[in-house]
Amino acid sequence: MKAYGKYIAAAVSVIFFLTLLFAALPSPREASASTSGSMVEIRASGLNVRTGPGTDNPRFHVLRRGTYVTLLSRQGEWLQVRLPWGTVGWVFGGNGYTSLHPIHQYIRTTASFLNVRTGPDINHTRIYQLPRGTTAPVVDARNGWERIIFDTGRVGWVSGAYTESTRTGSGSSSGSSGTSSRGGESRTGSLQGRTIVVDPGHGGHDPGAVGRSFNLTEKFVNLDTSLRLAGLLRDAGARVILTRSTDVFITLGQRAVTANNSGADIFVSVHANAHTNRSIGGTETYYNTAFRPQDSRRLATLVQQELVGELGLRNIGVKTANFYVIRHTTMPSILVELAFLSNAREESLLNQASFRQRSANAIFRGINRYFQ
């Protein structure tokens, strides 16, 4: 009888131990959810982003080494991620191509403009500035400094003395409201009450120009840059109307009608250029004289100045042209050509998310100057 009692006691002890063990383990739901609190660092020199988990799915972008993207879910070694500008895709996470960094918290900047530096003290180089109210995920902290993901998936350090914790990454994202190291471009409410139509050229079955080196399509460059620009404009208080916000085909007539029926203050059409001579490159901005020619020329001049100053490409200049969308829109209207997809070096630049963000920043500054 005593031996039987010992067996019962031993069994109870084992059950109690197993209960504690399994209680400490995350449930399948919790284990799956934990991936959503991580950033993925790209460690390969170039990592394909595909529409689904597998090499049989089409590639639509390439991420450079050092870029950080948000982890959404995983399927085997394939990771579903959100790119810095909001697009969702899949990358292969095996073979050391990626590494995961847990998000410690989200912060919101409280300084008017907060410097982002290469390391955790003021002796490190300033690489960026974030306007007040920008939110960003923190992946590391040291001596009162926080390592954040900002802009187009880049990483840097900010002083924790000028941030506050926020429960989520809601509000102005660091990908849409950051400013370049040239600074001074985004101030809350500076475009309050303005209506601005942003027109990403081409789309859908019309790819526009296509680069030879990366097979980069103009329709993607136009849309991505326009979405970034729209974010900056909205953060500054403007009402923004996009003629398209996805990869769809919109006729030139529909674009003009959308603008003319919106009560817009200005119209900005975003494009990338091409030429049969692949050595030609540079930036140019067009306007038309049919409606508000002086205002259109002034807007084109200011945007061109900012683009050339920011991107550092050849200044082709401000020109008049009879492009449909600027000839048939009744408000001050311009069409920008950021760079040449037919030029190998400039296609490589246009393929970089950071270059497209800088393009959006520059256009924003030109618009802001126009309304001052």
Q: Which residues contact 70 (CB under 8 A, 6 or more apart)?
A: 39, 40, 81, 82, 137
- The sign of the dihedral angle between the CA atoms of 358, 360, 365, 369 is positive
The closest alpha carbon to 284, from 268, 305, 255, belongs to 305
Instruction: Classify burial at 88, counting beta carbons within 10 Å of its beta carbon; exposed 0-12, middle 13-18, buried 19 or more.
Output: middle
Q: Which residues contact 27 (CB under 8 A, 6 or more apart)?
A: none
- The sign of the dihedral angle between the CA atoms of 350, 355, 357, 361 is negative
Active-site amino acid positions: 337
CB contact at 8 A, 110 and 132? yes
Strands 105-109 and 134-142: antiparallel
Cα 188–chain centre separation = 19
Q: Which residues contact 7 (CB under 8 A, 6 or more apart)?
A: none
